[in-house]
Amino acid sequence: MAAHIGTKTVKKAKYLDALAPLQRELVQLQQWVQAQGLRVVVLFEGRDAAGKGGIIKTLTQHLNPRHVKVVALGVPTEREQSQWYFQRYSAHLPAAGELVLFDRSWYNRAGVEKVMGFCNDEEYERFLVSCPVFEKMLVDDGIVLIKYWLNVSPEEQERRFQARLDNPLKRWKFSKMDLEGRERWQAYAKARDRMLDATDSGHCPWYIIDANDKKKARLNCISHLLGLLPYRPQPYPQVTLGDVKGKELPPGKDRHWIPEPY
């Protein structure tokens, strides 16, 4: 289902009008994944402030959290650092009927770990060779694996960083790593291109999203995702709500009711 939104910045009202039917389709997609017992993984990668979290939040807003999981892993523990690299990510792969969204993924090694020196050259090169093999194993086992790269310009990233710094509700999103990432912009660009060259495979291609306009990026991503999967609406059973039998009183006034300042 395509959202025709043109080339200009999307106004909020138009964005919400376009988003509503897409989110209804996402509910249908989730029901279909459950009914078919599918295992679906969607990776979101991109620079800091590219909008990964916003897309994921929009995608999951009306979905069942028991069947749709968001994975955003922190810094690996000492034990995890000693494991097979893909091990801690594999633990979050879906079971039948589940959709898992990764807010950053095993591609950390191809980006931040490479640029910031958190892995050595041997580990980095081994990752680029083994990653397509790992992903083919997942696909061959029946997992639907979809990869998105959100592309954002340095000017737009700067604007978003400044907005975070100026907003007390978003200040926590900005870190020292964000600042260092901007200082190494070209190094990240080279790492991105090397990653795409090595891992943009026939069995698991990369899909690039122009993320300079957050609203357009969300609409275009959801529209594209819906177009990739051949879902069909799943009928709900007919339900008749009966009357409540008996009369139930609320808890007594002597219970611990919360204050009502509003």
Q: What's the pLDDT at 8? A: 60
Q: Report yes or no: 50 and 29 within 8 Å, Cβ to Cβ.
A: no
Q: Which of 3-12, 131-140, 166-175 has the lowest mean pLDDT?
A: 3-12
pLDDT, one tens digit per residue, over 65-86 is 999 999 999 999 999 999 999 9
Q: How many CA atoms lie within 13 A of 251 on its CB side?
A: 5
Residue 100 has pLDDT above 50, yes or no: yes
Spatial distance between the Cα atoms of 113 and 144, rounded to a whole number of angstroms: 26
Q: Is 149 exposed, middle or buried (0-12, 13-18, 19+ CB in 10 A)?
A: buried
pLDDT, one tens digit per residue, over 144-185 is 999 999 999 999 999 999 999 999 999 999 999 899 999 999
Residue 1 has pLDDT above 50, yes or no: no
Average pLDDT score over residue span 18-41: 98
Q: What's the pLDDT at 248? A: 80
